[in-house]
Amino acid sequence: MPSVADAHLGGRPRTEHPVIAMRDVVKRYRMGDTDVHALRGISLEIDRGDFVAIMGTSGSGKSTLMNIVGCLDVPTRGHYWLDGVDVRTLEDDDLARIRNRKIGFVFQSFNLLPRMSAAANVELPLTYAGVHPKQRRARAVQALRSVGLGERTHHVPSEMSGGQQQRAAVARAIVTNPALILADEPTGNLDTESSIDVMSVFASLHAQGRTVVLITHEDDIAAYAQRIVKLRDGRIIDDHRRDASGAHSTHVAHAEADHGVFR
């Protein structure tokens, strides 16, 4: 019998719903005798093919929001749909399957296994998904080529620069053709030149129609995104879309209960 996640993967066409839809998401942590309100009622929609930067200073709630978006944590209260799937309904195994199939993660620290080649590192999500070995290698090589690492398939991380390692991590993120690429401070360990190199890869992926959500505190990195969402004290304080010249354009309305997926 297929799991809950599998049933959703074979459901209605993806064009019918946003990739991310949140309504009134609250997250509280208990620290000793104190309640920490990390998120205070976040409502947000991100459509397919969008490129969004989520910004905020330390303590703003952006890391908590990233964990919830990535199904690494769950809200204390509120609703979250990922590519049409109500994640509240999923058990741990289904959440793991959703993370593997629908989200491509890119982290600041690359998280490549040091003794494995670039191709073997990129294959890992396909291995977990049960893809045949021959298909895994072909898809991994294609993903590496798409980020400019076609000549580095057999190199281990220590034989690659920081920028190349992060591009390999991006290849690993896209190899499953996920609904969402979620990048947490992806240039935090890179110099300026390598940062530009990696961000050009994200821009290229967005140009191909992929949905990218970027967590950053750097204005120059956020400037690559089409839309910037700013958090403060667990709330969205600004949400705007940039026009073609890079200037601010119209304010983006947040998800409301009587629109789209919330009907």
User: How far, in Å, CA of 7 to CA of 1, rounded?
Assistant: 10
Domains and CATH numbers, the chain: 4-262 (3.40.50.300)
User: How far, in Å, CA of 26 to CA of 259, rounded?
Assistant: 20
Q: Please, what sign has the CA dihedral across residues 239, 244, 248, 250? A: negative
Q: What pLDDT is attached to residue 1?
A: 33
Residue 85: beta bridge partners? 82
- What is the SS3 assignment for 206? helix
* Tokens found for residue 67: 């964990």
N-term to C-term CA, the chain: 29
Can you list the residues of the chain whose pLDDT is less than 70? 1-16, 244-263
Q: What pLDDT is attached to residue 32?
A: 84
* Tokens found for residue 134: 């021959």
Q: What pLDDT is attached to residue 14?
A: 43
User: How far, in Å, CA of 27 to CA of 93, rounded?
Assistant: 22
- What is the SS3 assignment for 250? strand
The H or E element that residue 228 is part of is strand 227-232
Q: Are 69 and 27 in contact (CB under 8 A)?
A: no
User: How far, in Å, CA of 162 to CA of 143, rounded?
Assistant: 18
